Each structure stands twice: as structure tokens, then as C-alpha cells.
Amino acid sequence: MTEPKAETLTGPATDDAVADVIVIGGGTGGYSTALRAAALGLKVVLAERDKVGGTCLHRGCIPSKAMLHAAELVDGIAEARERWGVKASVDAIDWQALVATRDNIVSRNHKGVEGHLSHADVQVLPGSAQLTGPRSVFVEGHGNFVARRGIVLATGSRPRMLPGLEADGRRVVTSDDALFAPGLPQSVLVLGGGAIGVEYASFHRSMGAEVTLVEAADRLVPLEDADVSRHLTRGLKKRGIDVQTGARFLEASVLEDGVRASVRT
């Protein structure tokens, strides 16, 4: 689950700059909106406090799919050996090489988004933004801007923690943190059987970890068709993932060598 970002900013008063459209947030929704508005001939200002591309490019879709591709290669080698008689095996996973390839893919896509925005004459302002009126926005470090046409809020979201669970970025991690782990764990408990949780469970299982996947609803990916849930659950269990649906997280304690969690099934 996610919750909206919120922030209060302060800064010196400046003369207002004017644009047709002001977009707050440079993720997939924000930069797509900015490019479309620019293509229609509008003057666009895009405020982003991190990097354009947002969660999808830097912490979600793109890096996760890159890592899932590596997992697919590992699974393919196993199938080639067991089913097709190809005498091949995976000796080890070079985590640093895998991470370097993932980061290179992200970096190239990031530069591509920046290039598109620059070519479209979208004015990108690095800094946090705050609404100061129905058609005005203050961007930290840049001053106040007024929109002739309107303001688009595309501020994205962040992981929401469960009661009784605090992320430490090391053993208890959010979906944002998990991509940037220093190495591969031996066992993983994934709380949440939506699309993101299933991806992480699948990746870590392919990389050799023991995986338990817990979902509070009565089936995995509950927003999808029931048939999808059924086939997906069967496939994950066949791969050795312990799938627990209708289960609720109770509490967790961080130990020296891991985490002990209580789950009511």
C-alpha cells in the first residue's frame, strides 16, 4: 500500500514566473504529461526533487525487470540441463556485475528521458514544490511560478509500513530498498502478494533463496482475475515458494542473524 508524499517548504519571495502548465512530479505520469503538453505548443514547467523518471525508472519497473531477466536466464539454464540435456550449470551469481548491468540500463533510460524533455523545451526544475495558490507553485531554489492553464499533481507515492514493523534498510526493507540490497539473502519473507511482492518472491527464489510469500487477502494478486491468481499460485508453489494467503502479519523482531516474524494463517 502507498501513501501520498507531503512536505512544507519555505523560501524567499521572488517575482512570479509564468508558464501554461506546471507539473509537480517527474515520474511516468508527470513527464508524460509534460511532453504531451509541450507537443501541443504549451510552455511547461516540471518540478522534480529527485530524478526525472520517478519510481518506475529508478526503483520499480525498469530495475526490477532487469533483475527478473537475470533470474529468467538462471531458470533457463536449469531447464536446459534438466529437460533438454544441455550440460550447463550456474556456478555462482556475481551480484556486483548484475547490479552494474541493472544500473547501466537505468542510467541510459534516465538520460533518454532527460533528452526527451530537453528536446521538447520542457523547463525542468530540480527541487521540492508546494502549492501556494489555485494556480501558483513555489519551487525550492527557483521561486514562485504561475500557471495560465493549470497545475498537474503527479507526486507519486512511497511504501507504507505495517503496524508493528519498522524498516531499517538492512534486514527489514521496503520494496524501494530491496532492489539495492548489498547481496542475496538466504531466505526471504515477502509481505504482500500483489504484483510487486510476487516479483520479489520470484526473483529471490530463482537466485536460490528460500521464500515465503504472505498475502492477507484470500488469493494472490487480488486485483487480477481469479484465474490469474490460481495459475500464478500453482506456478509459484511448484517452484518451491511457500505461499500463505488469508494470512496476517502480527509482529517482527530483528535478531543478529536475521528477522523473526509472526504471521497468523
CATH code of 111's domain? 3.50.50.60
Within 10 Å of residue 207's Cβ, how many Cβ atoms?
19
The least confident of 1-10, 45-54, 115-124, 227-236 is 1-10
pLDDT at residue 238 greater than cutoff 90: yes
Check whether residue 180 and residue 122 sit in a common domain. Answer: no
Of 114, 136, 158, which one is at a domain's C-terminal end? 158
Long-range contacts: 220-229, Cβ < 8 Å, 24+? 220/193, 220/194, 220/245, 221/193, 221/194, 221/195, 222/193, 222/194, 223/194
Check whether residue 168 and residue 140 sit in a common domain. Answer: no
Closest CA to 27 of 104, 105, 110: 110
- CA neighbours closer than 13 Å in the CB half-sphere of residue 178: 20
Cβ contact 74:204 at 8 Å:
no
Residue 91 lies in a domain: no
Three-point CA angle 66, 46, 21, nearest 5°:
130
Of 111, 137, 158, which one is at a domain's C-terminal end? 158
Domain count for the chain, please give it.
Answer: 2
Position 14 scores a pLDDT of: 43
pLDDT at residue 8 greater than cutoff 80: no
Task: Supply the pTM of this predicted model.
Answer: 0.86
Structural domain harbouring 218: 161-255
The least confident of 99-108, 151-160, 237-246 is 151-160
- 548489498: which residue's cell? 182
- Phi, psi for residue 95 in degrees, rounded to 5: -60, -40
Residue 141 lies in a domain: yes
- If one compares 177 and 75, the residue with the highest pLDDT of the two is 75
pLDDT at residue 13 greater than cutoff 60: no
**Model pLDDT for residues 122-153, shown as the tens digit of each residue:** 999 999 999 999 999 999 999 999 999 999 99
Q: Are strands 2-4 and 157-159 parallel, antiparallel or unpaired?
A: antiparallel
Position 178 scores a pLDDT of: 86
Position 11 scores a pLDDT of: 41
Check whether residue 117 and residue 247 sit in a common domain. Answer: no
Angle between helices 61-83 and 95-119 (to 10 degrees): 140
Give the pLDDT band of residue 158 (cuts 50, 70, 90). Answer: confident
pLDDT at residue 9 greater than cutoff 80: no
Average pLDDT, the chain: 92
Give the pLDDT band of residue 180 (cuts 50, 70, 90). Answer: confident
pLDDT at residue 73 greater than cutoff 80: yes
Position 252 scores a pLDDT of: 92
pLDDT at residue 27 greater than cutoff 70: yes
Long-range contacts: 259-262, Cβ < 8 Å, 24+? 259/171, 259/172, 259/189, 261/189
When pLDDT is averaged across residues 24-32 and rounded to a whole number, the result is 97
